[in-house]
Amino acid sequence: MRVLVTGGTGMVGSAFKKYEKDGIIRVGSKDFDLTNYSNCCEMIEDNKPDAIIHLAAKVGGVKGNTDLVGEFFRDNILMNTNVLESARVLGVEKVMSLLSTCIYPDKCQYPLTEEQIHLGPPHESNYGYAYAKRMIHVQSMAYRQQWGCNYIVAVPNNLYGEYDNFHMEHSHVVPAMIRKMHEAKISGLDHITLWGDGLPLREFTYSHDIADCLMMLLEDYNSPDPINIGNSNEISIKYLAEKIKEKIGFSGDIIWDTSMPSGQMRKPSSSGKFKEMYPDFEFTGLDDGIGIVCDWFEESYPNVRGV
């Protein structure tokens, strides 16, 4: 099967490099601007894929999602609509797109199970991104119903990996902490300050594991229903910070600024459906995954995205 990966230059897309020997094609925004329908058609006509793994998206942390809420909605809606429509028109057999556990309703039963995705408004901080992402599922279902398109959606939890965005304001928690501690170390600072009390629990999955999961699902999964994917071990933000501190070798103190918000206490996702399909799949442990990404960051700095 000839597989094309959109968003192939991003954090998750870069993890597909190891599959290039099997003929995987990765494309980024410099190759084709997917907010433009003609560019999407060109991408498919040039590469003639049997399947598309659609990762391209405008992605960011809380600040990006809030400050750029209109852009996040517009660009994601355009990219998704264009990719799915051009794939349909040009006869691509299968498209797998990514949602995110952060688009589940703000008020939800935990653990997050797939059938709850549309059962209430998302958190107000990311509604532009969340509604745009939810529409990929709606569009995929509608295309399956009317035109028989085998379009599927997977829902990863928090991801980290090489080639992430390390921008101070627009990054996610893992890259933000890695950069902050590395820069504190090289500047000889005796402490850094992080927001909140560090107590909330979150799940983190290494980008290479997600690439492996997506390759398996592309082969095996053919249902209109979303499927959660990711490491469902919960760890506290404080534990994460201590782990990154150890890997980076920052010897100063971490001050928790409890006047700033900590975020929701837990947002566990259900991995039952995935585990039923792949009971033996083992996710990379945080210790190993964070170690790899910290080493990569230190070797690459300052030539990393967002710095």
Active site residues: 129
Beta bridge partners of 94: 51, 150
- Shortest Å, Cβ 259 to ligand NDP: 27
CB atoms under 10 Å from CB of 196, counted, come to: 16
Here's the x/- map for ligand NDP, 164-183, by CB under 6 A: it reads as -x------x-----------
Measured between alpha carbons, how far is 199 from 180 in angstroms, rounded to an integer? 19
Should residue 12 be labelled a site residue for ligand NDP when binding is judged by CB under 6 A?
A: yes
Q: Are 34 and 136 in contact (CB under 8 A)?
A: no
CA dihedral 170, 174, 179, 185 (to 10 degrees): 150
- Shortest Å, Cβ 241 to ligand NDP: 17
Q: Which of 24, 25, 34, 96 binds ligand NDP (CB under 6 A)?
A: 34
Which part of the chain contacts ligand NDP (CB under 6 A), choosing from 66-74, 88-96, 153-161, 261-269? 153-161
Q: Are 183 and 168 in contact (CB under 8 A)?
A: no
Should residue 30 be labelled a site residue for ligand NDP when binding is judged by CB under 6 A?
A: yes
Should residue 35 be labelled a site residue for ligand NDP when binding is judged by CB under 6 A?
A: yes
Which part of the chain contacts ligand NDP (CB under 6 A), choosing from 2-10, 189-197, 264-272, 290-298? 2-10
Q: How many residues bind ligand NDP (CB under 6 A)?
A: 28
Which part of the chain contacts ligand NDP (CB under 6 A), choosing from 26-34, 84-92, 108-116, 141-149? 26-34
Measured between alpha carbons, how far is 254 from 242 in angstroms, rounded to an integer? 8
- Shortest Å, Cβ 229 to ligand NDP: 9
Here's the x/- map for ligand NDP, 223-262, by CB under 6 A: it reads as ----------------------------------------
Q: Which of 3, 56, 227, 294 binds ligand NDP (CB under 6 A)?
A: 56
Q: Which residues contact 210 (CB under 8 A, 6 or more apart)?
A: 12, 15, 156, 159, 229, 230
Tally the residues of the chain. 307
- Shortest Å, Cβ 258 to ligand NDP: 25
Measured between alpha carbons, how far is 59 from 34 in angstroms, rounded to an integer? 15
Should residue 28 be labelled a site residue for ligand NDP when binding is judged by CB under 6 A?
A: yes
Q: Looking at beta carbons only, is 81 or 184 nearer to ligand NDP?
A: 81
Burial-class residue 147 by CB neighbours within 10 Å (0-12, 13-18, 19+).
exposed
Q: Are 26 and 33 in contact (CB under 8 A)?
A: no
Q: Are 222 and 256 in contact (CB under 8 A)?
A: no
Of the candidates 108, 6, 91, 12, the one whose C-alpha atom is nearest the C-alpha of residue 56 is: 6
Q: Looking at beta carbons only, is 149 or 228 nearer to ligand NDP?
A: 228
Q: Which of 65, 126, 140, 158 binds ligand NDP (CB under 6 A)?
A: 158
Q: Which of 52, 59, 83, 293 binds ligand NDP (CB under 6 A)?
A: 59
Of the candidates 214, 174, 185, the one whose C-alpha atom is nearest the C-alpha of residue 52 is: 214
The binding site for ligand NDP (CB under 6 A) comprises: 7-13, 28-30, 32-35, 55-59, 75, 79, 98, 100, 156, 158-159, 165, 172
